[in-house]
Structure 1
Amino acid sequence: MSNPDKEIEVVWVEGNHDEGLSEIMSLMMGIKVYDEYSWETYGKNFLAIHGHQFDKFLTENVVISNVSSFVYDKVQRLDTETQSISRFIKRKSKGWLRLSNKVASEAMDYGRSKGADAVICGHTHLSMKMESDDITYYNTGCWTDLPSTYIVVDEFGNASLREDVNTPSYITEAVAS
């Protein structure tokens, strides 16, 4: 996936659901795995970190978090055709937005301590951009849901949230079978 000839480096920033998977991807595809990854583009310092590190509930209630993740994962697997049930659960969870704002605030504080101009996280799966005077927070959102969201940082250090409204392939495949 990485292509040194085109100056393309693919990295994996490990998240709370990646245990074991990141090691396999690293071995099979040669992708470097990091807990956090920082880089400089056009004079702007970026820091990418998954974000679960700033989720107090997750870090302080490991068993409950694992059980709820297990249940949500099962709902997603049963709801493969339209993902309507899992999206409904996510939309109705008022705690999700509060969590997203708390993660953003903590991530911005952490980014400041590391000298970052921008912090990019993903953990909450809710795409967002939050700015303060000295730092900008981005959340990538979710690339496996509709709409799929992601962040692009161009060669001039400009970051932007993007949205792909095309149906993810796992939904297309589930509908076709």
Structure 2
Amino acid sequence: METNFKTIVISDVHLGTKGAKAKEVLRFLKQYRCQNLILNGDIIDGWQLKKSGSWKRKHTRVFNRILKMMDTDCTKVFYLRGNHDDFLDQVLPLEIGNLSIRKDMIYESHGKRYFVAHGDIFDSITSNLRWIAYIGDMGYTFLLWLNARVNHFRRKKGLPYYSLSQYIKSKVKSAVSYIDDYEKELTKIAKARGCDGIICGHIHKAELREIDGISYFNSGDWVESLSALAEDHCGNWQLIYYNEMDFKEKRDNVVRMQNQSSHAVQIS
């Protein structure tokens, strides 16, 4: 299992909400090393924190891990503003050491240019009709609450995790149409900016595909799909899903390396 990447992209963590999988994000970040970490929007959910959300110690631990990556591994961290963490508008653009807070960015790697943005700026509902966006957020929060109850009973029966909201998105025609339009519009923006691809989040649907010759990469989220984008040192991109990670293999490799190191010391 490869654990050292050039760039890792995560988005839509929504720290400060009940649905945020802070422990899983922390565990994920402890498994990998990267030169660049792009936090592509909605990492902190300012909307929910203003209402019924709450900030917990496990949420702080995620940022402590990121700070450690910056200090120990010299990881460059790019925090891009999303619609739920729009409070960042008050400070961006901001550069402090290896931390950069921006609205969006151009990422260049292996001769290719990618336009990186959360994605909400292309969503006319979120941008122009903010009150409708808030209503949609309330509905989504309810779905996540219901989803948690469904999976509580599924775990008792030994069944795997099931995303109710993802199922609804795939069945409602208007949602399917919206996602399709969203993806196509973002690739048009990337092309207009002279880029080879778009890297985004926002709609909580992980994707890695080509649209009209433009690469469309969506990192998904850490509320439902628990996914991230990763680029290796040869410029190849992949989606990593937390639920498919082999933590046992990782532990075995660490133990094996420790045993080899101990054996080498004894020989010397």
TM beyond 0.5: yes
Q: Secondary structure at the match of 2:86?
A: coil
Tell me which amino acid in the other structure corresponds to 1:97. V
Max radius of gyration: which structure?
2
Name which of 106, 109, 112 aligns with 1:44.
112
Name which of 131, 149, 153 aligns with 2:231.
153
Superposition deviation, residue 47 in structure 1: 1.8
| Separation in structure 1 between the aligned mates of residue 142 and residue 100 of structure 2, nearest angstrom | 29
- Indicate the residue corresponding to 1:67 in structure 2: 135
Name which of 186, 192, 217 aligns with 1:113.
192
CA deviation vs aligned residue, 1:69-123 (integer Å, no higher than 9, x gap): 1232244246545385544544443322222221111111111122211211111
| Separation in structure 2 between the aligned mates of residue 88 and residue 21 of structure 1, nearest angstrom | 32
Tell me which amino acid in the other structure corresponds to 2:82. G
Over 3 Å counting, the alpha-carbon distance change for 1:21 and 1:75 in structure 2 is farther
Residue 53, structure 1, aligned to residue 121, structure 2 = yes
| Separation in structure 2 between the aligned mates of residue 90 and residue 133 of structure 1, nearest angstrom | 24
Gaps of 5+ in 2: 1-65, 152-161, 246-268
Over 3 Å counting, the alpha-carbon distance change for 1:157 and 1:85 in structure 2 is closer
TM-score, structure 2 normalization? 0.51
| Separation in structure 2 between the aligned mates of residue 92 and residue 134 of structure 1, nearest angstrom | 28
CA deviation vs aligned residue, 1:40-75 (integer Å, no higher than 9, x gap): 112111221111122233333321121121232244
| Separation in structure 1 between the aligned mates of residue 197 and residue 214 of structure 2, nearest angstrom | 5
Superposition deviation, residue 125 in structure 1: 0.9
Q: Percent identity?
A: 25
Aligned-pair RMSD on alpha carbons? 3.2
Superposition deviation, residue 156 in structure 1: 2.2
Would you say the 8 A contact 2:125–2:132 is kept in 1?
A: no
TM-score, structure 1 normalization? 0.74
- Indicate the residue corresponding to 1:9 in structure 2: 76
- Indicate the residue corresponding to 2:176 in structure 1: 97
| Separation in structure 2 between the aligned mates of residue 9 and residue 123 of structure 1, nearest angstrom | 22
| Separation in structure 1 between the aligned mates of residue 74 and residue 194 of structure 2, nearest angstrom | 25
- Indicate the residue corresponding to 1:175 in structure 2: none
Would you say the 8 A contact 1:22–1:33 is kept in 2?
A: no
Gaps of 5+ in 1: 168-177
Q: Secondary structure at the match of 1:106?
A: helix
CA deviation vs aligned residue, 1:15-52 (integer Å, no higher than 9, x gap): 1111237879x8xxx84322112221121112211111
